[in-house]
Amino acid sequence: MAVAIIDRWALCSENAKIRSICRPEVARRISVFIIIISILLPVPLFVFFDNSSGLCGINPAYNVAYTIFALILIGIVPPSIMVLFAFLARYNLIKIRSRVRPTGGPSPNVHIHKRDHDLLKMLVGEIIVFCLTTWPYPILTLYNCLTLPIKAYKSPLRVAIESLIGFIIQPLLIYTYCCTQFYGKLLMNMYDRW
């Protein structure tokens, strides 16, 4: 999603070289690159698996490493990139509209056209949906890592509640984010009502 927002920023750019990023062959190459990076990025986490006792076990440092991995690569980097390039797209649209001015007379305020305004609403909606559906997972991972030392002291009710929350957050919200892309028009209408 972050790359899609970067693509929309490039599409709004004044610079022809930046706009050339929006070609289909470039998008295919970037998609292949993202797939390869997504496969290779978690490979260093395999260092934390231990088979020295004859049983496959996880080194206790794995929880800390995975928590850092989840916080940075799921909770911080993508939303930051998305917000940055959404602001840059807005800046580009305002800059493009400010160049078109009538000759003679006072310079009017710069207004963004409806199409451009819809693009900005779509970008903001994507960022909000992304944050609402993905941030709970890194937060849950951080919570589990921080409460791991007191796991033996948790009551059965607390363990059950945490398990239920984990069950809701892990599969449900992640799949919800993947499906929300198909409901763009519905989300835009909801955003207009707010």
Chain Cα centroid distance, residue 165: 21
Task: Tally Cβ neighbours within 10 Å of residue 2.
Answer: 19
pLDDT of residue 19: 83
CA nearest neighbour of 120 among 83, 158, 86 = 86
CA nearest neighbour of 174 among 5, 35, 1 = 1
**Are the C-beta atoms of residues 89 and 119 closer than 8 Å to each other?**
yes
Percentage above 90 pLDDT, the chain: 9
Q: Is the pLDDT of residue 39 over 60?
A: yes
**Rounded mean pLDDT, 31-46:** 84
pTM of the model: 0.73
Query: Tens digit of pLDDT for each residue in 96-108?
Result: 776 655 555 555 5
Strands 57-58 and 49-50: antiparallel
Taking the domains of the chain in order of start, what are their residue ranges?
2-99+110-193
pLDDT of residue 36: 93
Distance CA 75, CA 94 (A): 29
Query: Tens digit of pLDDT for each residue in 128-177?
Result: 888 888 888 889 889 988 988 888 888 999 989 988 888 888 776 667 76
Distance CA 163, CA 144 (A): 10
